Each structure stands twice: as structure tokens, then as C-alpha cells.
């Protein structure tokens, strides 16, 4: 049984290969640039961990992990085009570095390549793996559309936001684990519980991300805080605040959304705290995290095999296991 960091290191080595031909360079340079820009490779490692939870790591788990990472990068390239994002992880996004057309096409070939890897798994695995990839692909697209729709809506219920982050973020973490478990021959109940573990972990992670962007320590968080507030992003915090605020607080929040002064972030944080959404986010995150651990508990496997997943969850959420 290997820990997250060990598998992460092993995957980085495995993944560090040419996934594309050279020509036409306008297309493949864009694709390779994206893959060279790094990232934590969490999803493929989850696939490997889901596999190793039940058995020694199968060759198909490595192929599937590769497909998952390519799929994830396809979504990032296309999302960045849609969001007109200039930067990702401090580097120029693909469309900013090249152009929108090459980025669009690079995303397309990356998705095709992901199916290419899945299609080389053993014949008794292929259909189930592709079916799971199709399902998660549809869900991620739906989540992205909801996210864009929300930007143009005046009010969004918190429950719709949670549904959106489940589709856009959590299901891919969940499906990565389940695909690994499927390859290991895990039973349906165990697969379902592992999927639930991943989904709840993903929700906890996303709520934490919203919290960190507002209340986190910039040094530990690795980026400037307050970005979501400056952009009026509809986060867990803002939506929860709008739902729990009294009439006067709500008026203040809505006014602050129009405000662009340098102290906008500080003023909003005061309001967030006054509405108790600071605590509410931490409570929600803990609830998802605890549910994830309860889901993991249900899996009929000796407890010691679950240690790497517990450690990984604690690591992702910067909590004590």
C-alpha cells in the first residue's frame, strides 16, 4: 500500500511521456504546453488509490489514470477559454499563450486521446470504463454550463450552487476512485461507497476552497485571498450570506457588490462574519468530510488498507486524520 505522495511521484514519472505526435505543431504544441504546465495530478492518483484499495495496482489502472488526467486537462483548457482566464497556476493559459482556436482544438484532441487510452484496457474493462467516462464527461459539461448560467443570474439558491460544484468538480474525483475500484474487481456496494467518499471529499474540498479564498492565510494558501470577493463570484460564502442575512445586512451585501473601493474585501469579510457564514462554511466542510469518512468506513476491506485514503483526505483538506 502506497501513500498519496508515493503514488503521485510514480504517476508523474509514468505520465511524463509524449502523448501526441509533433505535427501540426500549432495543435500539438498547445496540447503539450498544457500538460507540461504541471498540476497536482490528484485525479489519476485517486484512480490508482481506488485500485490499490482492493488489489495490487493493475496495468489498466495506470492507463485509466492517464486517460483521467488527459480528460481533466481537456476540461481545464476549454473552461479557461469560456472563462477568458489569462492565467492558470501562474502561467499563461493555453488560449492566451497560443490562440483560442488552437486551444479549442488542443482540448478536443486531448479528449480523443483520453478515449484512446481507455480503449487499450482489457476488453472486459473497456465498456464499463468508457461508460463511466461518458457519464462523468456529461456531468462536468453540465456543471460548467450551470456555473456560466449562474454568472448571469441575480440570485442563485445555495442548493443549486452545491449541485453545480458536485457536477463540475466532485463527480470526477468520485469517478476516478470508482474506476480504479472497478478495475480491481471491487463489488458494486464497495464501488458505490468509494464513489460517495470521493464525491463528499470533493464537496468538502470545494467549500474549503471558497473559504480559503476569503479567510485563508495567503502564505499557506499560495495565492492572494479575496479574489472571489473582488470578482463578485457566487461562492458558498456569498450565497449562504444572502440566504441568512437579515434585511439590513442583505442590503449592505448587495451594495458592496456594486462597490469597487480598495477596502471591498475587508468590508465583505466583516459582513460574512456577521452573517456567520465563516462558521457555516467550516461546518459544511466538516459535515462533508465526516460523511466521506463514514462512506469509506462502509467499504468491506480491512481498516489498515484504508489508511492511505484517509491520509490523502486529511492532506487535501489540511485536517488531522
Judged by CB under 8 A, the residue of 108, 209, 243, 311 near a copy of itself is 108
Q: Binding mask 63-82 vs a copy of itself (x if CB under 8 A, - otherwise)?
A: ---------------x--xx
Judged by CB under 8 A, the residue of 14, 39, 92, 116 near a copy of itself is 116
CB hemisphere CA count around 82 (13 angstroms): 15
User: Is there binding between residue 257 and a copy of itself (CB under 8 A)?
Assistant: no
Region of residue 33 (phi > 0: left; psi between -120 and 50: alpha; otherwise: beta): alpha
What is each CA distance from 187 to 132, 173, 194, 197, in whole angstroms? 16, 19, 11, 15
Judged by CB under 8 A, the residue of 48, 105, 173, 204 near a copy of itself is 105
Applying the rule CB under 8 A, the residues between 167 and 226 that interact with a copy of itself are none
> How many angstroms from the chain centroid is the CA of residue 4?
16
* CA geometry: angle 224, 84, 161, nearest 5 deg: 70
Q: Quote the CA–CA distance of 237 and 38 in Å, as a whole number.
A: 29
Applying the rule CB under 8 A, the residues between 2 and 31 that interact with a copy of itself are 23-24, 26-27
3-state secondary structure of 113: helix
Applying the rule CB under 8 A, the residues between 137 and 156 that interact with a copy of itself are 137-138, 141-142, 144-146, 148-149
DSSP letters spanning 69-104? HHHHHHHHHHHHHHHT-SEETTEE-HHHHS-HHHHH
With contacts defined by CB under 8 A, name the span among 9-17, 33-41, 95-103, 209-217 that binds a copy of itself: 95-103
- In the complex, what is the shortest distance from the CB of residue 247 to a copy of itself, in angstroms, rounded to a whole number? 32
Closer Cβ to a copy of itself, 105 or 203, answer by number = 105
Q: Which residue has the cell 474525483?
A: 173
Judged by CB under 8 A, the residue of 10, 12, 104, 257 near a copy of itself is 104
Q: Binding mask 120-139 vs a copy of itself (x if CB under 8 A, - otherwise)?
A: ---x--xx--xx-xx--xx-
Q: Quote the CA–CA distance of 73 and 198 in Å, as a whole number.
A: 19
- In the complex, what is the shortest distance from the CB of residue 76 to a copy of itself, in angstroms, rounded to a whole number? 13
Alpha helices (H) along the chain: 4-15, 25-36, 42-52, 59-83, 94-97, 100-118, 123-151, 158-165, 171-183, 188-215, 218-221, 227-230, 236-244, 247-258, 264-275, 277-298, 307-316
Judged by CB under 8 A, the residue of 34, 42, 109, 201 near a copy of itself is 109
Q: Quote the CA–CA distance of 312 and 309 in Å, as a whole number.
A: 5
Q: How many residues does the chain have?
A: 321
With contacts defined by CB under 8 A, name the span among 58-66, 101-109, 174-182, 189-197 that binds a copy of itself: 101-109
Q: Beta partners for 87?
A: 92
- In the complex, what is the shortest distance from the CB of residue 82 to a copy of itself, in angstroms, rounded to a whole number? 4
Closer Cβ to a copy of itself, 30 or 65, answer by number = 30
- In the complex, what is the shortest distance from the CB of residue 169 to a copy of itself, in angstroms, rounded to a whole number? 16
- Is residue 65 within 8 A of residue 47, CB to CB? The reply is yes
Judged by CB under 8 A, the residue of 37, 39, 55, 115 near a copy of itself is 115
User: Is there binding between residue 111 and a copy of itself (CB under 8 A)?
Assistant: yes
**Cis geometry, peptide bond prior to residue 24 (ω within 30 degrees of 0):** yes
Closer Cβ to a copy of itself, 145 or 225, answer by number = 145
- In the complex, what is the shortest distance from the CB of residue 146 to a copy of itself, in angstroms, rounded to a whole number? 5
Residues in Cβ contact with 141 at an 8 Å cutoff, skipping those fewer than 6 apart: none
Binding site for a copy of itself (CB under 8 A): 23-24, 26-27, 78, 81-82, 100-102, 104-105, 107-109, 111-113, 115-116, 119, 123, 126-127, 130-131, 133-134, 137-138, 141-142, 144-146, 148-149
Amino acid at each position: 500500500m502506497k501513500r498519496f505522495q508515493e503514488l503521485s511521484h510514480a504517476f508523474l514519472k509514468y505520465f511524463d511521456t509524449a502523448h501526441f505526435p509533433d505535427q501540426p505543431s500549432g495543435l500539438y504544441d498547445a496540447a503539450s504546453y498544457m500538460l507540461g504546465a504541471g498540476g497536482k495530478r490528484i485525479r489519476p492518483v485517486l484512480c490508482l488509490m481506488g485500485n490499490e484499495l482492493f488489489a495490487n495496482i493493475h496495468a489498466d489502472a495506470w492507463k485509466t489514470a492517464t486517460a483521467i488526467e488527459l480528460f481533466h486537462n481537456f476540461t481545464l483548457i476549454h473552461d479557461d477559454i469560456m472563462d477568458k482566464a489569462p492565467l492558470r497556476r501562474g502561467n499563461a493559459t493555453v488560449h492566451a499563450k497560443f490562440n483560442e482556436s488552437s486551444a479549442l482544438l488542443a482540448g478536443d484532441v486531448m479528449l480523443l486521446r483520453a478515449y484512446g487510452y481507455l480503449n487499450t484496457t482489457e476488453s472486459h474493462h473497456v465498456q464499463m470504463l468508457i461508460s463511466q467516462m461518458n457519464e462523468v464527461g456529461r456531468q462536468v459539461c453540465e456543471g460548467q454550463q450551470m456555473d456560466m448560467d449562474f454568472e448571469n443570474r441575480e440570485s442563485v439558491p445555495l442548493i443549486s450552487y452545491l449541485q453545480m460544484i458536485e457536477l463540475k468538480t466532485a463527480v470526477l474525483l468520485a469517478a476516478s476512485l470508482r474506476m480504479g475500484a472497478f478495475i480491481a474487481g471491487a463489488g458494486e456496494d464497495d464501488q458505490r461507497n468509494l464513489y460517495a467518499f470521493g464525491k463528499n471529499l470533493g464537496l468538502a474540498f470545494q467549500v474549503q476552497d471558497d473559504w480559503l479564498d476569503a479567510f485563508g492565510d495567503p502564505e499557506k494558501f499560495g495565492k492572494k485571498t479575496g479574489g472571489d470577493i473582488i470578482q463578485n463570484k457566487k461562492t458558498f460564502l456569498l450565497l449562504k450570506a444572502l440566504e441568512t442575512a437579515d434585511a439590513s445586512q442583505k442590503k449592505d451585501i448587495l451594495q458592496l457588490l456594486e462597490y469597487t473601493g480598495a477596502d471591498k474585501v475587508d468590508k465583505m469579510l466583516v459582513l460574512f462574519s456577521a452573517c456567520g457564514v465563516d462558521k457555516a462554511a467550516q461546518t459544511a466542510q466538516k459535515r462533508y468530510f465526516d460523511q466521506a469518512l463514514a462512506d469509506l468506513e462502509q467499504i468491506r476491506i480491512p481498516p489498515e488498507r484504508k489508511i492511505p485514503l484517509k491520509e490523502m483526505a486529511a492532506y487535501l483538506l489540511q485536517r488531522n486524520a
